Structure 1
Amino acid sequence: MDPTTALKETEENMQKAVEYLGQEFAGVRTGKANPGLVENIDVHVASYGSTMKIKGLAVVTVPEPRMIMIQPFDPSTAKDIEKAILESKTGLNPANEGKHLRVPVPELSEERRKDMVKMVKGQAEDARVRIRGVRKEGMDSAKKMKSANELTEDGQRDFENDVQELTNKYIKQIDEQLAVKEQELMTV
């Protein structure tokens, strides 16, 4: 593998870790209704014999600031969706109205907000760990390219510096996302 390809691959993997964190943060409740709170919940649909995400089974809308509306494409899946939301750790309680579900989003207590902040800090740390794992893979590929005579010693050092710069860049993005999410959670 040439150094340019290896560096590009390293950056793509770091970018994926940051994007995944963004998806995880979207599913964290802030007291405002947001389709991201429920659309990535896995639902086991007995009639289909498979597990799917809510966004693949229904249209998720926010008709009011504290209400999520879920309209299944197939009304027979409403019970499965309701069960999945109840079993998820979101703390939401859907009301099944036959053809659609209404999910009220209650106000968060101060204690719950602090718990949510701890949870998002854990998610951010997991993302940092993924970034550092990708960094290690990048550094290992530099050593392999050096031993295969694809890189000189100076080339290896430059490559490792580039990988470190990418690591710093993506860790900073994670910290910025965390700060924004913490602010959202603690704002009443």
Structure 2
Amino acid sequence: MTEVKAIIAQGKEKMEKAVLHLEESLVTIRAGKANPAILNPVMVDYYGSMMPINQVASINTPDAKTIIVAPWEKKMLPVIEKAILTSGIGLTPSNNGEHIRLIIPPLTEDRRKELVKQVRNEGENARVALRNIRRDANEAIKKLIKAESLPEDVAKDGEAEVQKVTDSYNKKIDELLALKEKEIMTV
């Protein structure tokens, strides 16, 4: 019985990580509002080593449509500007010699629909991860039956508990996706 509880606990931990990964992925999808997390994937060449942009500059959002990137060293301005341009986040930097300004354009209806598709794709990836974790947990329980260290009725209860845990994390994914879709579709 304790083996089953350990398997379920391990599955819960992995499912929690999958949901956290989904949250991190959804934060980087811009929804028409300025959010410093949009710049998370941007890496800057800082004296020969690649660093996240937030480790070489301060990032602020003075209003809902603007992100200001202020490098800690003036000579990093062109390097940061180039990194933003080549990162593929879809924003064009404006350099005034002291800081870089990123204007978040309003989203078109087509772009909103594309972003919703991207959000749903991220959600489906998270669901696939949950299903894989559930499968692994159920296989581990079945191995215990074959090793004859676990009665079948206890195994069935364990598999039911794994399914309950999976359902609860699926519900969390649904809630995250619904919130992000609402955020994207709100004009």
- Regarding TM over 0.5, the answer is yes
- Any idea what SS the aligned residue of 1:2 has? helix
Q: Which amino acid in the other structure matches residue 41 of structure 1?
A: P
Q: Which amino acid in the other structure matches residue 3 of structure 2?
A: D
Matches of 1:94 and 1:175 in 2, distance apart? 34
Q: Which amino acid in the other structure matches residue 53 of structure 2?
A: I
Query: Contact 1:62–1:69 (CA<8 Å) still a contact in 2?
Result: yes
Residue 158 of structure 1: CA displacement? 1.2
Residues 1:64 and 2:63 aligned together: yes
Structure 2: which 5+ residue stretches go unaligned?
A: none
Q: Partner of 2:151 in structure 1? A: 152
Q: Partner of 1:9 in structure 2? A: 10
Q: Partner of 1:174 in structure 2? A: 173
Residue 120 of structure 1: CA displacement? 0.7
Q: Partner of 1:23 in structure 2? A: 24
Q: Partner of 1:115 in structure 2? A: 114
- Any idea what SS the aligned residue of 2:106 has? coil
Matches of 1:68 and 1:100 in 2, distance apart? 10
Residue 42 of structure 1: CA displacement? 3.7
Query: Contact 1:41–1:84 (CA<8 Å) still a contact in 2?
Result: no
**Alpha-carbon distance change, 64 to 141 in structure 1, aligned in 2, over 3 angstroms:** same
**Alpha-carbon distance change, 82 to 152 in structure 1, aligned in 2, over 3 angstroms:** farther
Matches of 2:138 and 2:62 in 1, distance apart? 49
Aligned residues: 186
Structure 1: which 5+ residue stretches go unaligned?
A: none
Q: Which amino acid in the other structure matches residue 62 of structure 1?
A: T
Residues 1:104 and 2:103 aligned together: yes
Q: Which amino acid in the other structure matches residue 37 of structure 2?
A: G
Q: Partner of 1:43 in structure 2? A: 43
What do residues 81-107 of structure 1 show as CA deviations (whole Å, max 9, x unaligned)?
322322233211112334432111111
Residue 46 of structure 1: CA displacement? 5.4
Matches of 1:59 and 1:147 in 2, distance apart? 57
What do residues 131-182 of structure 1 show as CA deviations (whole Å, max 9, x unaligned)?
1111111111111222233422112111111111111111111111111111
Query: Contact 1:45–1:77 (CA<8 Å) still a contact in 2?
Result: no
Residue 75 of structure 1: CA displacement? 4.0
Matches of 1:55 and 1:150 in 2, distance apart? 52
**Alpha-carbon distance change, 46 to 52 in structure 1, aligned in 2, over 3 angstroms:** closer
Q: Which amino acid in the other structure matches residue 186 of structure 1?
A: M
**Alpha-carbon distance change, 48 to 150 in structure 1, aligned in 2, over 3 angstroms:** farther
Residue 53 of structure 1: CA displacement? 2.3
Matches of 2:181 and 2:70 in 1, distance apart? 31
Question: TM-score under structure 1 normalisation?
Answer: 0.89
Question: TM-score under structure 2 normalisation?
Answer: 0.90
Matches of 1:145 and 1:79 in 2, distance apart? 60
**Alpha-carbon distance change, 134 to 55 in structure 1, aligned in 2, over 3 angstroms:** farther
Query: Contact 1:37–1:90 (CA<8 Å) still a contact in 2?
Result: yes
**Alpha-carbon distance change, 161 to 149 in structure 1, aligned in 2, over 3 angstroms:** same
Matches of 1:153 and 1:75 in 2, distance apart? 68
Query: Contact 1:95–1:102 (CA<8 Å) still a contact in 2?
Result: yes
